[in-house]
Chains A and B, each alone.
Chain A
Amino acid sequence: MAQTFSLMAIFKRDLLIAFRNRGELLNPLMFFLMVASLFPLAVTPDPKFLGLIAPGIIWVGALLATLLSLDLMFKSDFEDGSLEQMLLQPQPTLLFVMVKTLLHWLMAGLPLTLMAPVLGVMLALPEGGYWPLVFSLLLGTPTLSLLGAIGAALTVGLKKGGMLMPLLILPLYIPVLIFAASSVQAGVDGNSYTGHLAFLGAYLALMLVLAPVASAASLKISIAR
């Protein structure tokens, strides 16, 4: 039984590559910050008003930042031929996709989650909103990575790529957005938000099972081009 790529080796490899290009890790965070800053500039810096829409702004910002970072999930592997090599391994593509999704979350979703309270302060988010904000992001961003992997896998290597992937994935993000933003709002209003978080948790569990299957199938379709 010959040796084959181990998933751990791929995990460590990608972490090493990310570390070598660590400047780029800041990009989603910077984008997040910038998008949030657009709203006071475009509408009003009045904290009373900002505080009202802060949950939505932060979540939409997180969504957009995640969308932009998805491109990188498979692109470089596709371009230098390592993706091809991965798909030639005997292990199921499914496992490879799960590792990649986890990596994406660690490098995009998790930092966004940690940065969100800062944005909350800047956008005058009322006190009750901070905990639900962090929890909803913690439960929601992995789902964004899971669903996003499907879009990234379907469009990897497409020259007309660009705008296409967000178009495919955004409708699927809407349930997460609705329940997450409303959980923050519930927190702000002093109401319970556990029901909202429960939905996010359930959706995450469902996507954990289904999304990698779809992503693996999409990768196999994409590599055949």
Chain B
Amino acid sequence: MWSALKRLYHQLGSPKWFYEITSRWSPWFLWIGSTLMIIGVVWGLAFAPADYLQGNSFRIIYVHVPAALLSQSAYIMMAVAGLVGLVWNMKMSFVVGKTIAPIGASLAIIALVTGAIWGKPTWGTWWVWDARLTSMLILLFLYMGVMAIYNAIESEEMANKAAAVLALVGSINIPIIKYSVEWWNTLHQPATITLTKKPTMAPEMFIPLVLTIIGLYCWFAVWVFARTRNEILWRERRTKWVKSLLNTGANH
């Protein structure tokens, strides 16, 4: 048991192993993800019944909710990757964390934009300070901070560690920030129409949502794998296995 764990530990830290294993997994994730996304999006946009209050504009949740959920999980994943890197000094972990950051930030922006698109027909304005959007905006700030500190430090090693510390500090604060913002929101607005009310959602609306959520997670995995593999190729560019990889590639 122990030796299997030790082996896993060493494997996880090896760029080459990561590269090979993600080469095998990526196509699967891509297939599953795309299938789920297509079914979910088509079902949600075309076939699900219209919401009795919001009409058709609610359909944006099929993009907004997965993006919002994923950008929050991605931050936690990034923080965990940073923690693993700091505690076990695993360079691969830092690489994964580094690639997640811009992806998570983009998802946050997508969530904000789709939130605004939803807001216009519902409230008449492009932006509303509701609890959810405000929390998402602050999450975007946290992402920007991690990326900014990473770019500001020249030494790769120090940049990794500093970004990891910041991501951890941020992730501890995320529940506190969410709580504060929700509480603040109740002070200033009565319970308004929110984007999702899960208990009252009909299954015909709910299932495509679940599909798009899972589908987006799969796409996220593909995205992270692809960027991480790029990073690996660049960092290990002088090693034998990368050189032989590129050579066989050039011969096709």
Contacts and interface: CB of A to CB of B under 8 A. Distances in A.
Decide if A and B are genuine partners. yes
Interface of A: 150, 154-155, 158, 160-161, 164, 167-168, 170-172, 174-175, 178-179, 182, 203, 210, 214, 217-218, 221-222, 224-225
Contacts of B162: 154, 218, 221-222
Contact of B152 (A158, A172, A218): A158
Interface in B10-53: none
A221 B187 CA distance: 41
Contact of A167 (B148, B161, B176, B180): B148
Interface stretch (B1-9, B92-100, B139-147, B196-204): B139-147
Given A168-B148, A171-B142, A203 B176 contact: yes
B145 A168 contact: yes
Contacts of B169: 150, 172, 214
Contacts of B187: 182
Interface centre among B172, B173, B184 (most CB of A within 10 A): B173
Contacts of A203: 176
Interface string B127-157: 0000000000010011011001100111100
Interface string B163-179: 00110111011001101
A154 B180 CA distance: 26
B183 A171 contact: no
B175 to A, nearest CB: 10
B181 interface: yes
B162 to A, nearest CB: 5
Interface in B181-196: 181, 183-184, 187
A186 to B, nearest CB: 9
Given A210-B172, A225-B153, A171 B177 contact: yes
Contact of A164 (B148, B154, B165, B176): B148
B181 A171 contact: no
Nearest to A147: B169
Contacts of B181: 174, 178
Nearest to A225: B158
B170 A221 contact: no
B172 A171 contact: no
A161 B149 CA distance: 9
Number of chain B interface residues as a range? 20 to 34
A203 B149 CA distance: 25
What are the 9 closest A-B residue pairs judged by CB atoms, nearest first?
A: A175-B180, A171-B141, A168-B145, A178-B180, A178-B184, A221-B161, A160-B152, A175-B176, A171-B142
A175 B152 contact: no
B166 A168 contact: yes
A166 to B, nearest CB: 10
Contacts of B166: 150, 154, 168
B168 to A, nearest CB: 7
B158 A221 contact: yes
A172 B169 CA distance: 9
A160 B141 CA distance: 19
Contacts of A178: 180-181, 183-184
Given A167-B145, A225-B158, A175 B165 contact: no
A30 B119 CA distance: 41
A167 B144 contact: yes
A154 B154 CA distance: 13
B137 to A, nearest CB: 9
A174 B149 contact: no
Contacts of B149: 154-155, 164, 168
Given A154-B149, A161-B152, A164-B149, 8 more contacts: A155-B152, A168-B149, A170-B141, A171-B138, A171-B142, A175-B180, A210-B172, A218-B162
